Structure 1
Amino acid sequence: MSIKKYGVLLVNLGTPDAPTPTAVKHFLAEFLSDVRVIDISRIIWKPLLHLVILPIRSPRVAKLYRSIWTEAGSPLLNYSLQQRAALAKKLPDIPVELGMSYGSPAIAEAIDKLLIQQVENIIVLPLYPQYSCSTTAAVFDAISRALKKYRTIPGLNFIRSYAAHPSYINALKRSVELSFERYGTPERLLFSYHGIPKRYAETGDIYPQECELTTRLLSELINFPADKIIMTYQSRFGREPWLTPYTDITLKRLAKHGIKHVQLLCPGFSVDCLETLEEIAEQNKKLFYAAGGEKYHYIPALNASESHIILMAELVTDLAII
C-alpha cells in the first residue's frame, strides 16, 4: 500500500476563540461537559456547571487568557499550527491536519479534510505524551463520533502515549540543558504535570504511572542529582483530592526551607498554553518569590522545536507502512 494513503491527525485539547468571557464560557461549557473530564452525574453536574461555575469562572479565566494572548492569537493554537506546518514539511508525502478536542478547528473538520485527500489510513497523534482518560481517551471518543456519518471509515492507528519514547526524553533533556546553560544550575528541578482527580487513578487511569516513567527516564539521562528532582502536579480543579504533591504548595515549602533557585519543566504539555504561561511561569513564580525564593525559571514546552518535530515524524513513520 502506498504511503500516500496515510494521513496524520494531530490533536490537542483546544482553546477559546478569543480572550473574552463569552468565548471562554462557550469553550469551558464544551470542555467541562465531557464525561471523560468531569464524570459526576449529569443531573447534578449540568445545573451546577451552567448556573454557578460558568457565570463565575468565565470572566476570571478570560482575564487570565488576556494576559497571555498574542497578536497571533491563542498560544496553544498558534504553536499547534506551527507543529502541523513543520510536520507536513518534514513528511511531504503524508497529509497532516490539526484538530482540537474542544473548540476550533474541530476533530471532525480535520478528519473531513484528510478524507477529501483520499486518505485511507489515519494515524492519530494526541499531543499528550502521558496517557489519561481525561485527555487521550477523550480524543478517541471524539474520533468515534466524527466517523459515525461515514459509510466507509478509514483505518486508524492510534498513538496512545509516548511517555518513554527515546526521542521525547532526549528532547526534554536538551531543554533542561539549555536552561541550565542560560540560568545556571538550580538547587531543585521540578517536573510539573497536569493533575487529575486521585479517584481517576484509583479506578484505573494509568496517568500517574506514565508521568513517573517519564520522570524516571529523564532523571537518569540528565546530569543532575536525582534526589534534587521533584515530580509534582498542577492545575487542580474543584474540591476533591487530586494527585499530589501539588506544584504550588511544593514551591512555597521549598522557599520556606531555604531553597532560593528552582527551575520547572512541564513534560506533559506539548505546547505552551494557559497552564504553563500563566499558571506556572507567572502565578507560581510569584508564590515562590513571596515565600522567600530568589531565582525561578520556567523551561518552555517543546512547541515546534526541531527536536519535537523529529519525534513526531518518528512516531508517524513507525506506523506508516510503505
Structure 2
Amino acid sequence: MTPDHAPADHPAIQPARTGILIANLGTPDGYDYWSMRRYLNEFLSDRRVIDLPRWKWQPILQGIILTKRPFSSGANYKLIWNEDKGESPLMTITRDQTAALRDRAQAEWGDKVMVEFCMRYGNPSTSDVLDRMVKAGCRRIVFLPLYPQYAAPTSATANDQLFRALMEQTWQPSVRTCDPYFDRPDYIAALAGSVRRTLGDRVPSRLVASYHGMPRRYLMQGDPYHCQCQKTSRLLQQELGWPDGVIDTTFQSVFGREEWLRPYTVEHVAELARQGVTDIAVVSPAFAADCIETLEEINGEIRESFEHAGGKDFTYIPCLNDDPAHIEVMMSVIRDNIGGWI
C-alpha cells in the first residue's frame, strides 16, 4: 500500500494495526549439548538473572558451568521433551496460548489486531518477532510478559529485551507494558478452579504453593516479588475457603551458594513428611505454563524429596496453561491496556 500523493518510488506501507505480544522465559531448541549451551549462555549471561560483575562471573560461566551443566540440563529436558513436535512443553503450551488468544482477539477486534509470542531467551526471539510485527503494520503494541508476579529477573528483563529490540526499529511503534496480575480476582479464581479440578472435594493436609526462587537480597533491594507471591497465596486460600495453615508459600530452583527466598520447596516438603504430613498437593502460581521447573523439578526432585522422607500421597496441580479461564485472564489484562487504541 502506497500513501496518497506519494511519489511512485515511495516504499509500501502496511495498513496500521495493533499488536498483542506475549512473552515467556524461553526454551532451548533441543536437549543436545550445543543447544543447551547456547540457551544457558544467553540465560545466565543476563545481568538481571546473575548480577555479579562480568569479570567475576563470565570466567566461571564459560568455564565450569557451560562445560558441565548442558549435559545435566539436557538430560532433564529429555525427560519431558515433546518428541512428536520436537520442542519443549513450554514452547507447545505457549503456542497453544497464543492460538487461543488470537482466536479470541480476532473474534472481538477482527483484523485490527495481530497476536504473536516471543521468548526472552532462545527462539522465537523478541527482536525477530517485533520486527515481523512492525513490518506487518503494527503501530501500537501491547506487551504482556507471562509472569503473574513481578520480579526483576523475569518481568523486567522481558521488558528490557523489548526496549532493546525497539532501538533497532526505524519507525518505532508505541508500546504499553502490562502490570503483573498476581492479585486480579479472575486470576485467583482461575487458580482456585485448577485446584478444585485436580483435587475434587479433597482438601489435602497441606497445599504447597511453590514459586520460583530468587536471591533474598533482591527483596532487600526493593523487588516486590516476595510480597506479591505471599498475597497470591493468601488470596487463593480465601477463594478456596480453606482454613489458615493449609497453604504454605515456598520457593524452588535455588542456584548458587547465596541465601535465596525461604523456605526452599525441596526442603520444606521433606520436613512436612518428617512431621507426619503424608498427603500434600503442590501448585505453581508463578508459572503461566508447565515447564522444566514444574514437570521435572516439582514432579521429579521435589516429589522424591517428599516420598523419601516418608510422604505417601503427592499431587501436582498443573499450571493454568491454555485453560479457557486463563486465556480469559490474559484477555482481560489486554483489554485493560488496549483501551483507546482500537
TM range (shorter): over 0.9
Alignment of 1:72-87 (within 5 A): 72=85, 73-87=87-101
Please give the root-mean-square deviation of Cα atoms over the aligned residues, in Å. Answer: 1.1
> For 1:59 and 1:221, how far apart are their aligned partners in 2?
42
Partner of 2:13: none
- Secondary structure of the residue aligned to 1:210 is helix
Stretches of structure 2 that go unaligned for 5 or more consecutive residues are 1-15
Partner of 1:202: 220
Alignment of 1:169-248 (within 5 A): 169-181=188-200, 184-248=202-266
- Secondary structure of the residue aligned to 1:91 is helix
Greater gyration radius:
2
Say whether the 8 Å CA contact 1:136–1:160 is kept in structure 2.
no
TM-score normalized by the length of structure 1 = 0.97
Partner of 2:8: none
Deviation at 1:165, TM superposition (A): 1.1
Paired residue type of 1:172: L
Runs of 4+ aligned structure 1 residues displaced above 2 Å come to none
Partner of 1:55: 67
Alignment of 1:5-20 (within 5 A): 5-20=17-32
Deviation at 1:149, TM superposition (A): 1.8
Q: Deviations over 1:252-292 (max 9, x none)?
A: 00000100100010000000000000000121111111111
> For 2:71 and 2:279, how far apart are their aligned partners in 1?
34
> For 1:257 and 1:231, how far apart are their aligned partners in 2?
17
> For 1:77 and 1:130, how far apart are their aligned partners in 2?
21
The match for 2:268 among 250, 272, 282 is 250
Q: How many residues align?
A: 318
- Secondary structure of the residue aligned to 1:9 is strand
- Secondary structure of the residue aligned to 1:54 is helix
Paired residue type of 2:24: N
Deviation at 1:5, TM superposition (A): 2.7
Alignment of 1:261-276 (within 5 A): 261-276=279-294
Q: Deviations over 1:135-190 (max 9, x none)?
A: 111011101111112232111110131111111111001011112218x3211011
> For 2:162 and 2:195, how far apart are their aligned partners in 1?
35
> For 2:238 and 2:119, how far apart are their aligned partners in 1?
34
Percent identity between the two aligned chains: 39
Say whether the 8 Å CA contact 2:178–2:337 is kept in structure 1.
no
Stretches of structure 1 that go unaligned for 5 or more consecutive residues are none
Q: Deviations over 1:14-48 (max 9, x none)?
A: 00000112111110000000000000000010110
The match for 1:117 among 130, 136, 139 is 136
> For 1:160 and 1:59, how far apart are their aligned partners in 2?
37
Say whether the 8 Å CA contact 1:129–1:163 is kept in structure 2.
yes
Say whether the 8 Å CA contact 1:8–1:122 is kept in structure 2.
yes
Paired residue type of 1:89: D
Say whether the 8 Å CA contact 1:25–1:58 is kept in structure 2.
yes
1:44 aligns with 2:63: no
1:155 aligns with 2:174: yes
Say whether the 8 Å CA contact 1:220–1:226 is kept in structure 2.
no
- Secondary structure of the residue aligned to 2:167 is helix
Say whether the 8 Å CA contact 2:210–2:252 is kept in structure 1.
yes
Partner of 1:141: 160
Say whether the 8 Å CA contact 1:168–1:311 is kept in structure 2.
yes
Partner of 1:315: 333
Q: Deviations over 1:65-87 (max 9, x none)?
A: 00000122200011000001110
- Secondary structure of the residue aligned to 2:245 is helix
> For 2:320 and 2:52, how far apart are their aligned partners in 1?
34
Deviation at 1:248, TM superposition (A): 0.7
Deviation at 1:226, TM superposition (A): 2.3
> For 1:180 and 1:140, how far apart are their aligned partners in 2?
36
Deviation at 1:307, TM superposition (A): 0.6
Partner of 2:9: none
